[in-house]
Structures are given as C-alpha cells and as structure tokens.
Amino acid sequence: MRKMTRRDFLKSISIGTAGLTLAATPALAGESQGRITGEKLPAKIRKVKETYSICCFCGCGCGLLLYSNEEGRLVFCEGYPDHPVNVGTICPKGNGIIEGNTVINKKRGREFNKQRVTKPLYRAPGSNKWEEKSWDWVLSEIAKRVKKTRDESFEEKDEHGVTVNRTTAIAGIGAAALDNEEIYLLHKMYRALGMLNIEHCARL
C-alpha cells in the first residue's frame, strides 16, 4: 500500500468536500431566477418560515436568513447570499445568533429562555419592582426626560463668556450593533442636543 503524502491527503479532502456539497444541493433545473418554493426547497428548510434580518453583533450589518418552525422558534440561520456586505458568508458569532434566546437545561438540552426580556420594563424611583410598559410610553418618557434635563443644564456661554451651547448632564454611548448610518444619525442628534460626553463600547 502506497504511503499517502500530504498532497494526496489534501486532494482527497477537497474532492470529498466538493462531493458532499454537490450532494446536499437540490436539483434546481429551470430555477435560475426567482425564489425557490414548495417541494424544491432543501429538506432542512422545507417546513420552516424564512425571515430576512440583520446581524446585531457588530457594526458590519451582515444580512441573515433566519428560519423558524411552526412554534415560532428559531431553528436555523445562514448568511443572505444577495446582501452586499457579507454576500452569504457569516462569522461564528452571527452563526450562533439563534442561541441568544435559549439556555441549557439540566438534561444538557436546549430550551427557550423564559427569563429573556421581551417587553419594556420600568422601575420607578424608590420602587423595588419592575413594571411592564408599552413602547409608546417608554419612548415618550425618554423624550420628556431628555428635554427636561437639557433645559435645566444647558449652557450658552462659559465662565469666560465664550459661546459653548452645551450640556454636560447627558451622556451617550454607542453600541457595536449599530451600523454606520445609524451611528451618523445618532451623532448628529447628540451634537444638536449639545452633548459632549459621547462614547462607544469598543473604546471602553
């Protein structure tokens, strides 16, 4: 028996990988355009709902295709081939995004995380409990408090008479889940409010 060289080993791996890829790809004769539907879908996604989304782990904004079962639970994730940023590729963090709403139970199986927060919660000053609030109430309350704080702390001129138009009572921190366009708009809004304390989680 001839000893296998490193080159022979790499050839075998390449041929095997190509063969498995071709075997897993459904026959799509005549389906070069448009979405594939019904029985022509690959078996792994035939009975699930496909939803387009954006990955939330960093600022790249990669496109994702998420698949949920009849119970509405995420079961599979892959990169969106037509997205201009990632063109179907996906990093390990993005590939594990469906793990974000599950936990490991005592039997070492995955189950839905019942403690996952899905609604806005508010705890009033001095209170010891959280209350569920609607998004309309939360956003309105945030806007009112930002305006009140800005009005009370706004400085038009400093102690030397120099025009500064600023407030040091409000701070803003960015998140890696925001893309460039969202960060640009937020930065414009922060500067319009006169905020100086602007940071980002990647620097802290």
Residue 151 has a pLDDT of 94
Domain finish residue from 89, 116, 143: 116
Please tell me which residue, 24 or 137, carries the higher pLDDT value: 137
CATH number at residue 58: 3.30.200.210
CB atoms within 10 A of CB 53: 13
Residues 122-169: pLDDT tens digits?
999 999 999 999 999 999 999 999 999 999 999 999 999 999 999 999
Q: Kindly report the pTM of this predicted structure.
A: 0.57
Instruction: Band the pLDDT of 45: cuts 50, 70, 90.
Output: low
Domain presence at residue 103: yes
Residues 112 and 55 in one domain: yes
What residues form DSSP beta bridges with 49? 68
Question: Does residue 131 lie within any of the structural domains?
Answer: no
SS3 of residue 140 by DSSP: helix
Position 146 in a domain: no
Cα separations in angstroms, 191 against 130, 139, 171, 188: 32, 20, 11, 5
Token pair listed for 26: 């459904």
Query: Tell me, what's the pLDDT at 31?
Result: 40
Rounded-to-integer distance, Cα 176 and Cα 179, Å:
8
Provide the residue range defining the domain that includes 47: 43-116
Q: Are residues 158 and 112 in the same domain?
A: no
**pLDDT tens-digit readout, 59-101:** 788 899 988 888 777 778 899 999 999 999 999 888 888 777 7
Whole-angstrom Cα distance, residue 94 to residue 90? 6
> Is residue 111 domain-shared with residue 174, that is, in the same domain?
no
Q: Are residues 107 and 165 located together in one domain of the fold?
A: no
Q: What is the pLDDT of residue 163?
A: 95
Residue 110 phi/psi, 5° resolution?
-95, 140
Has residue 19 been placed in a domain?
Answer: no
Q: What is the pLDDT of residues 31-40, one digit of tens each?
A: 433 344 445 6
CA separation, residue 132 to residues 103, 128, 135, 139 (Å): 23, 14, 10, 14
137 vs 141: CA distance, rounded Å: 6
Identify whether 14 is part of a domain.
no
* Same-domain status, 160 and 111: no
Task: Give how many domains the chain has, as a whole number.
Answer: 2
Per-residue pLDDT band at 192 (split at 50, 70, 90): very high
**Structural domain contains residue 37:** no
